[in-house]
Structure 1
């Protein structure tokens, strides 16, 4: 029987605490700037587009499409895939793909967020819809 993969706990700080608290409830949060209206990820208080500090938390649907990916076949822990996805809300982010057939991944394929447990807050990854 195979052991479940163990993921490291994320390092949190006061600025990202709402993100990790929401992750513990199964919610994927992004930030939106109320000055320019653009959504962004990773969570931070300053908008990367207009540099305003008028940002608010917003729950993402957690749905995205694969922008690009790469499969690592030789690894001490076995094959894995990383890549970029573009959320329906607009932001793109780097992620690992889990719980799917790595050989069936395709650019433009729909994916959704899944959370994997750690000794702290759960970590968000993406899997094929």
Structure 2
């Protein structure tokens, strides 16, 4: 079962487009973007990927969703993730619509299944951000 990372790295390096997302994580808020037509998107962008509107607003998402797909990593993709092996990389279908890739934690690997409900949990990684992970509910 993957638990929270003992020394999370790499640490996020926000750029102007993603700064509101990472600022929200400091307060344990999962922030998404929405255009005037109601299209919701994740990851941070300068325009709506569906209608190309540049009038995007940030809003706090529910932090809930379902597990769309996953893989259990038996080998780390880099040395940064070696302490975590085995860990679950998950594609989460957020309740608001978009999909988000993250780690699935606090869930025994033999209980992980597609379409299971999940919720966001947070791990602080310094004064500037927290990492959004998910766990089964």
Give the match for residue 15 of structure 2.
13
- State yes or no: 1:22 paired with 2:29: no
TM-score (norm 1): 0.89
Cα distance in 1 for partners of 2:112, 2:6 equals 21
TM-score (norm 2): 0.85
Give the match for residue 116 of structure 2.
109
Runs of 4+ in 1 over 3 A off after TM superposition: none
| Structure 1 segment 8-87 matched on structure 2, within 5 A | 8=9, 9-34=11-36, 36-75=37-76, 76-77=82-83, 78-87=85-94
Cα distance in 1 for partners of 2:92, 2:55 equals 25
- Could you tell me which runs of 5 or more consecutive residues in structure 2 were left unpaired when the two chains were aligned: 77-81
* Structure 1, 113-122 or 88-97: larger mean CA deviation: 113-122
- Could you tell me which runs of 5 or more consecutive residues in structure 1 were left unpaired when the two chains were aligned: none
Cα distance in 1 for partners of 2:27, 2:46 equals 21
